[in-house]
Structure 1
Amino acid sequence: MLAFLRPYLSTAALALLIFYFGYHAFTGEGGLLQSDKRDATLTAKTEELKTVTAQRRDLEVRAQLLRDTSLSADLLEERARSLLGFADPRDYVIRMEP
């Protein structure tokens, strides 16, 4: 019986190998059926990139205002109060739990 099937073993192994890779090409992590998930991830990451870019621009402007060449007195006072924990007598302080 085994001698009868011997010529077909290499064909069967090759067919199983093709089926295995074909299955994973469609349903794997980067497969063709996962394109909706990739599109959703791309959209979310694009929005996150816009947010982070806006935050970076804001930080760059604030850092520019703290440089020696263009020192902003208001920003310097705000940072000093924030770091030292002081408040102006006219300020309203709202304490929040961390």
Structure 2
Amino acid sequence: MWTKYHKKRRLGRFVLPAMTVAFLSYFGYHCVHGDYGLRATEVFEQQRIARQQELAVLVAKREHFEKEVALLSDGSLDKDMLDEKARYQLNYSRPDEIVVFNK
């Protein structure tokens, strides 16, 4: 039978705050240490910077090759470039020449 004055339990006061602390602790931990947390964001940023530098190197190489191809195209054939490529591929030089390779 219920009465107007029933005894309050001390344990009942701590259930909701304990659940709240557990909930916030769980999500707080995963905000920092999770797959997409703060620490993972730092790793992603380092990877982004490294890949951006790698992209810059590859773009520079591509531009260099595009310039070489433009010099060897039919419309503007550069005879010095053609001679240089032919000598490099055939490993040919005259006895009075000095050959310097840049790679």
Q: TM-score, normalised by structure 2?
A: 0.60
Give the aligned length: 79
Residues 1:57 and 2:60 aligned together: no
User: Which of these residues, 75, 82, 94, is aligned with residue 81 of structure 2?
Assistant: 75
Q: CA deviation at 1:81?
A: 0.8
Q: CA deviation at 1:33?
A: 1.8
Structure with more helix by fraction: 1
**Structure possessing the higher radius of gyration over alpha carbons:** 2
Counterparts of 2:93 and 2:29, CA distance in 1: 65
Give percent identity, aligned residues only. Answer: 36
User: Which residue of 1 is the match for residue 14 of structure 2?
Assistant: none
- My pick for the range that moved more, 52-61 or 80-89, is 80-89
Counterparts of 1:87 and 1:31, CA distance in 2: 61
Task: Tell me which amino acid in the other structure corresponds to 2:39.
Answer: L
Residues 1:38 and 2:44 aligned together: yes
1:10-64 CA deviation, whole Å, 9 max, x = no partner? xxxxx9xxx5x98666434444321111111111111111111111111001001
Q: Counterpart of 1:87 in 2: which secondary structure?
A: coil
- Root mean square deviation, CA, Å: 2.8
Distance 1:81 1:24, change over 3 A: farther
Q: Which runs of 5+ in 2 are unaligned?
A: 1-21
Residues 1:91 and 2:98 aligned together: yes
